[in-house]
Homo-oligomer: A and B are copies of this chain.
Amino acid sequence: MIASIEIRTRGQGLYEITDRVEAVVAQAGIDSGLCTILIQHTSASLTIQENADPSARRDLERWLARLVPEDDPLFTHRAEGPDDMPSHVKAALTSTTLSIPIAGGRLALGAWQGIFLWEHRRQGRPRTCVIHLGA
Contact = CB atoms under 8 A, between A and B. Distances in A.
Interface of A: 1-2, 32-34, 36, 38-42, 47-50, 53, 55-56, 58-60, 62-64, 66, 68, 72, 74-77, 79, 84-85, 88-89, 91-103, 108-113, 128, 130-132, 134-135
A72 B112 CA distance: 24
B113 A130 contact: no
Contact of A88 (B49, B89, B102, B103): B49
Nearest to A111: B40
A59 B40 contact: no
A40 B109 contact: yes
A12 B111 CA distance: 22
A76 B59 CA distance: 7
Chain A to chain B: the 3 pairs with minimum beta-carbon distance, closest first: A40-B110, A101-B132, A55-B77
Contacts of A103: 2, 130
A75 B134 CA distance: 39
Nearest to A50: B42
A26 B89 CA distance: 31
A42 B53 CA distance: 12
A101 B60 contact: no
Contact of A110 (B41, B53, B111): B41
A53 B77 CA distance: 8
